[in-house]
Every structure is written in C-alpha cells, then in structure tokens.
C-alpha cells in the first residue's frame, strides 16, 4: 500500500510542461492567479484527499450504507469529508468570485478532483453530483431558483443528484414515464419512480436537490417531450430555509459491485404525499439541458477511471518494489537472496502497461479539461469555437478510453499482487470493483462508440476531425529526437489508415446502410481512442525529451526516462493492436450483425 494518490511530479509535468497551464494566468478570467495559487489549491486537494477521503475508503466499502426506517445509515467520516471539501471552497472553485468561487481553470479543478476520486471514489461522488446539479441550475435556472438553491448547494448545506434513469428506461431516456402535472400555484406535481439514483438519500446534508427528468402531461412523445425539474427533499422557502418534507421518498437502496460508499437509490415521487417540482427553463427542453452538461460529466467519468487506474498502479508499484519472491532465471544459486518482484521482466511489463494506461488516460482528461478552458476563456473567438468542436468530437473518447483501460490497469495491479491481490486484505481488488462502473454509467461505452462513429465524426462536415488532424500535425512536427520521430511516423501512418477506413464507412452510411456501418462501432472507438492516446504519449515524449536535455539531477533524469520508456511501450505494444480493428472495419465484418437471436 502507498499513500501516493497521483504522483505530484507527474501531475506537474502534465500540467506545466505538456499543457503549459501557467499560461492561462495571462487570460483575463485567471489574471488574479499565478502558478503559486494553482499549486496551493492542488496541495490542499492532495492533503485533504489523503487525510479526509482515503482514511475511510476501505471502511465505506466494507460497511456500506444501510436502509433503516426509510433513512440511510452511513459512516460519519463521509459527512466529515463532504464538509471539509465544501468548507475549503471546492464546490464553488470554478465559479466567479462573486458567487464565492475562486475562478479556477477547469484544468486545475480536474487535477484537484482527481485526488479525491483516487482517494475514495464513493465519498467523492457526493460533492461531484452536487457540483453537477448546481451547474444545471446556474446555467438554466431562473433568477429565483438560483437565489433559492444555488448558495446552499455551493456551500454544501444542500447536496444534489441527477435523477434520470427509470426501471424500464436506462440508456433509452425517450421512454421515461415520470409525469409532471401543472398546478395553479406555479409548481408541478411529480409522479413516478426513478432507480440507480446516486446520492438520492444520505445522512450528510440537511437537504437534497434532485434534478429530475419528467414528462409534462400532453407532451410530445420521445426525447422532445422531456422536461427538467428541481425536486427538493424538503420544501425550501425564499430565504433558503428547509421546511416540511416534499413527497419524494426512498424506496430502497441498491447494492453494487463497487462505488459502495455512494448510495444508489430507488426513489418514488408523489407516492404517499404530493411531490412538488419546479420547472427549469422551458418545457420539453430537459434532455437538451442535460446534454449540454454532458461533456463535463463524461470528462468527469473518464478522469475518475484514469485516476482509479492510477491509484492501483501506485499500489502495485510500491508492492512490487517491496515484495521479494524468486530469483532471476539466469541466477542458478538457490541460496542467493530472493529478488523484489519488480526485477522480473513480466512484472515490469504489467507495471509499464499500467503506467501507459493511467498516465495516458490522465493526459487525455487534462487535455479535455484544457479544451473546456479554451472554449470559455481563449482570447481569440475563433480558437474558442475550435476548442468547442474539438471537445465535442473527443468527448466519447475521453469518457470511454480511460473507462476501458483504467479497469484494465486495475486488473494488472491485481495480477502484480498475485494471490494477495485477489484478497480483500489488499486495496487493489476494490480499485477494480470501483472502476468497473465507469464503462457503464454516463452513457455506456457502446453508446459512446455509436455517438463517435454515428454522429461526432460527421458533424459540421467533419470540421472537428480536420481540426484534430491539424492539432496532431503540430505535435508530429515537434518530434525532434530520433526516438520521438520514429513514434511520430508510426502515429501518422496509423492515422492515415484510420482516415481511409473512416471515408469508406462514411460511404456506407451515405448509402443508407446505417446498421452495417455502425455494426463494428466499438472497433472504431478502440482504433480512434488508441490513436488519440498515442498522440497524448507523443506529446508527453516530446516534453520529456526536452526536459531530459535540461535535467540536472538523477531523479529528474529518471523521471523523464520513465516517460520516454512508457511512450515506447505504448507505441510498441499498444498502438499496433489497432491492426485488428482496421481489418474488421475495412471489411465491414458482419459476424455480429448477422448473428441471429435463435442461434444463441
């Protein structure tokens, strides 16, 4: 076990040497900041995550929340962690100074939140959901709604949830049945049932603000008839004081594989008492509002997956350096001392793979967070628009790639531990269970694949794709050492093949063979994802080659050599795996498409 959540040297490298986050302070919105203030905030996050979140990560997993008399019984440490997060101002960190915020860039907020998830994904869920719910109200709510709810959500008095899924409508939100009936008093009466609502009940905050999707009576069918409502657990008066209970109640808790510290709830609305809901924005626009927040939520999932992968890597690295077992194959003397398992090449392979997945995934998510910063604060209007398009294109990859390869890293962490890793005495099995959620929620990876190949690639006459290739070109040309140039070459060759296969899939789509074109979308997501992460590794390798030239100590040289070796791992071991995707996509393989149900 180790206390390290995210290696600070690596984070510094990614934020300042690869992304030049310090340059953001030249922008108007961040002009009060300096690298020092960014670092001080990151320091607070790292410290608090270690002391207030990591301390009960295992306990909250073993002793999961219980349903007692319609209430939730949970460990007191969860509230202490939530309150510490709120008191330090993280809930409002990205907001304007006037809202009590710190006007922090998304890049820095993402880094901070990475520590909390790495320390304790279950507990970190509560503040993250609150931030997401508050964000919906901030952007789409009326002035009255904002003043009634927002200050209390940002101070941590109230928490928030996202209530979308219903027992029969998960990925297919068009089919939700929860209804909203208008009343003469201006509010709506909500009736229905929701399931898998994270944080839907807890014993942390004095009130919970549910953001609920429901259909107003007589609304059009499908996604165009969905509206968004604020449903507080307790009624709230104009001053933000909580009063009587609203008609939303806990029907039961759901018991999960991982993320056990975050309650997953079944909620009923308007069952035994009238449930008041307050319409957010215009009627029938609910799903649109939700989706405008989706980029952020999906990057959050990707980041969570990357840092849980990272945490497992840190654990297994420490274990491999410490655990002595066996001797090198070349050592014939049975009396010779046993070697630490990190001396076995196969263990190094598993550690290198974890390094490539988790640091590559973190690089991808921080890049995504930077695009969010550019989208909102770049001084050049044109660049803002381009950042938005690029982010839109990359969002499915930022969500799906780390959530596929983060759990893979955790799987390898268990393998490094051997039998110990399979037991609950060691921390890596929990990492894997927690991380297993990420390919599922916020749009399954299957849906991300369809979103990428069915929509994002073609949007705006593929303008996003063109922008992406321009951006990659910059880094391909920036490769100056022989090693980096060789990697740049293999990236550029793979990219050309991907472009060709994209064009042929485009023709199939244009010809109306949609099911055929999308049949192997998951291969396309894998291909595209690996190209993007190879690019992330090239960017890191370019920065590391530069850093290595100027390094003045052994530990610095070791750091940069490690980056270059991990880049090499990715280019030698990982990027070539897309060959199979290319074949299946090029052939428009119909194995899965043509399989009949009755043949199973």
By C-beta, is 170 or 562 nearer to other proteins?
562
How far apart CA 472 and CA 506 sit, in angstroms, is: 22
Q: How far is the CB of 44 from other proteins (least distance, A)?
A: 5
**Rounded-to-integer distance, Cα 52 and Cα 119, Å:** 9
Instruction: Report d(CA 244, CA 246) in Å as an integer.
Output: 6
- Residue with smaller CB distance to other proteins, 65 or 89: 89
Residues in contact with other proteins, shown as a per-residue x/- string from 527 to 566 under the rule CB under 8 A:
--------------------------xxxx--x-------
Instruction: Restricting to residues 100-159, name those near other proteins by CB under 8 A.
Output: 100-102, 104
Residue 27 near other proteins by CB under 8 A: no
Interface residue with other proteins, options 10, 19, 57, 93 (CB under 8 A): 93
| Contact status: 88 vs other proteins (CB under 8 A) | yes
| Residue of 20, 31, 34, 496 interacting with other proteins (CB under 8 A) | 34
Written as one string, the DSSP assignment of 220-236 is PSGGGGEEEEEEESEEE
Q: Which is nearer to other proteins, 99 or 193 (CB)?
A: 99
Q: Are 269 and 211 in contact (CB under 8 A)?
A: no
Least separation, in Å, of the C-beta of 29 and other proteins? 13
Closest separation between CB of residue 2 and other proteins, Å?
9
* CA Rg value for the chain: 25
By CB atoms closer than 10 A (0-12, 13-18, 19+), residue 513 is middle
Instruction: Decide if 443 contacts 324 (C-beta within 8 A).
Output: no
Burial class (CB in 10 A: 0-12, 13-18, 19+), 519: buried
How is residue 324 annotated by DSSP? B
Question: End-to-end CA distance of the chain, in Å?
Answer: 44
Q: Are 130 and 93 in contact (CB under 8 A)?
A: no
Q: For 570, which DSSP code? A: I
Helices (H) and strands (E) in the chain, counts: 20, 12
Shortest distance in whole angstroms from residue 124 CB to other proteins: 16
166 is catalytic: no
Stretch that binds other proteins, among 86-94, 279-287, 416-424, 564-572 (CB under 8 A): 86-94
Residues 35-54 that bind other proteins (CB under 8 A): 36-37, 40-41, 43-44, 47-48, 50
Binding residue (CB under 8 A) for other proteins from 70, 73, 87, 217: 87
x/- contact string, 566-585, with other proteins (CB under 8 A)?
A: --------------------
CB closer to other proteins, 337 vs 512 = 337
Scanning 89-97, 171-179, 184-192, 474-482 for contacts with other proteins by CB under 8 A, the matching segment is: 89-97
The half-sphere exposure of 240 on its side-chain side, counting CA atoms within 13 A, is 16
Catalytic residue (choose from 201, 404, 442, 574): 442
In the numeric block, which tokens belong to residue 232? 């507080």
Q: 162 and 289 in contact (C-beta within 8 Å)?
A: no
Three-point CA angle 227, 232, 233, nearest 5°? 130
Identify which of residues 559 and 571 has a Cβ nearer to other proteins in the complex. Answer: 559
Tell the smallest beta-carbon distance from residue 554 to other proteins (Å). 8
Would you count residue 32 as binding other proteins (CB under 8 A)?
A: yes
Q: 198: burial class by Cβ within 10 Å (0-12, 13-18, 19+)?
A: buried
The residues annotated as belonging to the active site are 442
Positions that interact with other proteins (CB under 8 A): 3-4, 8-9, 32, 34, 36-37, 40-41, 43-44, 47-48, 50, 84, 87-90, 92-93, 97, 100-102, 104, 553-556, 559
């Amino acid at each position: 076990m180790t206390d390290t959540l995210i290696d600070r040297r690596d984070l510094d490298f990614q934020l300042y040497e690869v992304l030049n986050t310090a340059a953001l302070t030249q922008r108007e919105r961040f002009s009060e900041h300096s690298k020092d203030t960014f670092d001080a905030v990151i320091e607070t996050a790292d410290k608090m995550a270690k002391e207030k979140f990591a301390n009960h990560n295992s306990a909250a997993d073993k002793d999961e929340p219980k349903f007692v008399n319609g209430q939730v019984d949970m460990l007191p440490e969860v509230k202490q962690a939530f309150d510490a997060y709120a008191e330090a101002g993280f809930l409002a960190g990205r907001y304007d100074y006037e809202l009590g915020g710190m006007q922090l860039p998304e890049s820095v907020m993402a880094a901070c939140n990475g520590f909390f998830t790495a320390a304790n994904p279950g507990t970190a869920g509560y503040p993250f959901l609150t931030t997401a719910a508050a964000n919906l109200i901030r952007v789409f709510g009326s002035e009255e709604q904002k003043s009634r709810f927002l200050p209390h959500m940002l101070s941590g008095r109230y928490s928030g949830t996202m209530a979308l899924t219903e027992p029969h409508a998960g990925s297919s939100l068009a089919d939700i049945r929860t209804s909203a009936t208008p009343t003469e008093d201006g509010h709506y009466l909500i009736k229905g049932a929701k399931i898998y609502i994270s944080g839907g009940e807890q014993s942390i905050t004095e009130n919970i603000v549910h953001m609920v999707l429901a259909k107003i009576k007589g609304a059009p069918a499908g996604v165009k008839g969905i509206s968004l409502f604020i449903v507080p657990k307790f009624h709230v008066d104009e001053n933000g004081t909580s009063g009587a209970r609203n008609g939303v109640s806990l029907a039961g808790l759901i018991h999960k594989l991982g993320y056990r510290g975050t309650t997953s709830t079944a909620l009923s609305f308007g069952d035994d008492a009238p449930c008041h809901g307050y319409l957010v924005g215009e009627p029938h626009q609910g799903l649109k509002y939700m989706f405008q927040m989706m980029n952020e939520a999906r990057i959050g999932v990707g980041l969570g997956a990357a840092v849980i992968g990272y945490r497992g890597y840190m654990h297994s690295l420490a274990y491999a350096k410490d655990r002595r077992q066996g001797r090198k194959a070349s050592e014939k003397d049975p009396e010779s001392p046993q070697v630490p398992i990190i001396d076995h090449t196969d263990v190094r392979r598993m550690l290198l793979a974890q390094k490539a997945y988790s640091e590559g995934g973190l690089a991808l998510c921080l890049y995504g967070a930077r695009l969010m910063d550019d989208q909102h604060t770049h001084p050049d209007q044109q660049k803002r628009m381009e950042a938005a398009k690029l982010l839109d294109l990359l969002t499915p990859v930022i969500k799906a790639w780390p959530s596929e390869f983060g759990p893979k890293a955790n799987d390898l962490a268990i393998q490094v531990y051997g039998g110990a890793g399979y037991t609950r005495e060691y921390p890596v099995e929990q990492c894997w269970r927690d991380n297993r959620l990420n390919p599922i929620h916020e749009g399954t990876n299957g849906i991300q694949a369809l979103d990428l190949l069915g929509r994002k690639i073609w949007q705006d006459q593929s303008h996003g794709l063109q922008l992406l290739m321009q951006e990659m070109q910059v880094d391909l040309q920036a490769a100056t050492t022989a090693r980096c140039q060789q990697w740049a070459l293999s990236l550029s060759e793979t990219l050309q093949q991907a472009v060709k296969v994209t064009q042929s899939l485009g023709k199939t789509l244009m010809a109306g063979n949609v099911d055929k074109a999308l049949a192997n979308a998951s291969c396309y997501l894998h291909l595209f994802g690996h190209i993007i992460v190879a690019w992330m590794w090239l960017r890191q390798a370019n920065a590391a080659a530069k850093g290595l030239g100027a390094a003045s100590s052994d530990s610095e040289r070791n750091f940069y050599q490690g980056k270059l070796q991990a880049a090499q791992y990715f280019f030698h071991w990982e990027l070539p795996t897309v060959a199979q995707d290319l074949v299946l996509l090029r052939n428009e393989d119909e194995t899965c498409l043509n399989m009949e149900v009755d043949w199973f």
